[in-house]
A and B are shown apart, each in its own frame.
Chain A
Amino acid sequence: MTKNSWQSTASKDVIIERALMLKNIRAFFDAHSVIEVETPLLSHYSTTDPHLNSLRSSFREQTCYLNASPEYAMKRLLAECQQAIYQICKAFRDDELGQYHNPEFTMLEWYRPGYDLLQLMEELAALIETLCRNTTIEPGFEYLSYQQAFEKVTGFNPHQITSSECYQFAVSNNIEIPQGLTAIDEVDDWLDWLLTQRVLPAFKKDGFTFLYDYPASQCALARIESNAEQVAVAKRFELFFGELELANGFFELTDADEQLRRFQQENQRRIQAGKEVAGIDENFIAALVHGLPDCSGVAVGLDRLLMTLSRTKAIDQVLSFSWDRA
């Protein structure tokens, strides 16, 4: 503990910039007739996502979890209200700490009934354009499919590559291979690694890039559809500023049976990875059975967006009290 550890890790300017950002986001959604909602931060359920670890708490000696994302609860509201909703809330994730990660962070999430993936990307771009006013950021947006982005810098089609081909590619291109990543690992682990090593560094340094139509195996809660070449892709996008991921969006899966099957598969992968099996949120599945409108939804990491707007280099610089001072 240092002498100044009672003080904020953010400057006063950035603290003011955050207040302005939140005000402008609320004004944007108010003008677009999207209503603000609140859902529980503390839940009986964690997430089945094999790459996320929920933080756990307890209520009357019963384990409960801090939400890793408000997605399930917001979709329950969506099934009931059938109208556009947004939320600004905290989300919590274990093991995530570093230059761009804090175990507790602020998320903006919204859902648009009737929107497809492109319409939602355009609305996100419009929101960011609004927020870039009076900053030094020039809001320009590139749209690249996952396949285009990989083909441009690696020459291979990510929808057809295997793990051992990725391994060969890394070896022949002198790309560092992380300890523990082998030719028999899942191809998605390799694609994630090559994305960080080759694809993201080729993105425009001082601009925004939408990466969309992910491999079907990385669908998470997105629908799978055929692209123009009749390859099944996940209707999912991520938004980056330079190499920094800011948002993740889906053309939302509404099929309850398919959703349940994916949760069970994810739990299988958790078992293989030696992680605890996550209870499946039956209320969420029941809401899908009741009927989720066709919709797209997106989650934006507001701390990272504020880093972009304020041109700061570490998440600590935009948090009042980062983890080591929390």
Chain B
Amino acid sequence: MATYSTNQFKNGLKIILDGDPCSITENNVVKPGKGQAFNKVKAKNLRTGRVLERTFKSTESVEAADVDEMNVEYLYSDGEAWHFMEPTSFEQYAADAVAVGDAVKWIKGQEVCVMTLWDGSPLAITPPNFVELAVAQTDPGLKGDTAQGATKPATLETGTEVKVPLFINEGDILKIDTRNGEYVSRA
């Protein structure tokens, strides 16, 4: 079992806390002058996204998490799993609904996503920051309505609903920011 000592702690280091892989986001030395030092750590649980706070007596060891990240291409979904391929080795990975999470709202096929692997299994999928998707359904905008910032709902080809400006029509290809789920422009 690989371990890290507290003096190896730094941002981005992957460790196991409460049985889950976590990524350190903050590491501070607490030391009341001379004497024993402690490390106060914030870490993001890579499975749940929750942030944990933990303190360690310095020189304590913590189990390392075998976490990798790689770029993969989204192939298709069979309803139970989402299939991705590493484009140089052509190796395929099946991610379950938990791992795919919100990424499912933005991917239809061929997007390059970041896949986080824990002990070789898909743990999380991060979609590209921007995707281009067609509008499957939206009501026609009212003619002559030029109010600034007015929006209406539109359903994309992935089934996800987003707010779009009134001039958008069915069949338009839209650029969407997946980090906040907002319309950016027509593609």
Contact = CB atoms under 8 A, between A and B. Distances in A.
B59 A179 contact: no
Nearest to A176: B55
Interface stretch (B26-34, B82-90, B100-108, B168-176): B26-34
Contacts, number: 69
From B34, B54, B60, residue with most partner A Cβ within 10 Å: B34
A179 B34 contact: no
A94 B59 CA distance: 13
Nearest to A101: B29
Interface size class of B (residues with CB under 8 A): 20 to 34
A51 B27 CA distance: 18
A245 B29 contact: no
Contact of A179 (B29, B33, B57): B57
A218 B35 contact: yes
B34 A218 contact: yes
Given A95-B7, A97-B29, A51 B35 contact: yes
A238 B54 contact: no
Nearest to A181: B57
B97 interface: no
Contacts of A155: none
Nearest to B59: A273
Nearest to B35: A192
A180 B31 contact: no
B152 to A, nearest CB: 40
B4 interface: no
Interface in B54-69: 54-60, 62
B37 interface: yes
Given A51-B36, A245-B33, A178 B27 contact: no
Contacts of B60: 178-180
A218 B34 CA distance: 9
B32 A200 contact: yes
B37 to A, nearest CB: 7
A98 interface: yes
Interface string A215-253: 000101000000000000000001000000100100000
B38 interface: yes
Given A178-B38, A192-B36, A193-B36, A101 B31 contact: yes
Query: Which interface residue of B27, B30, B33, B54 has the most chain A CB atoms within 10 A?
Result: B33
Contacts of B27: 98
Would you list the 6 A-B pairs with minimal beta carbon distance, nearest first? A180-B60, A180-B57, A178-B55, A245-B33, A192-B35, A98-B28
Given A188-B36, A192-B32, 18 more contacts: A94-B7, A95-B7, A97-B29, A98-B28, A101-B31, A178-B57, A179-B54, A179-B55, A180-B59, A189-B57, A196-B38, A200-B32, A218-B34, A238-B33, A245-B31, A245-B32, A248-B33, A273-B59
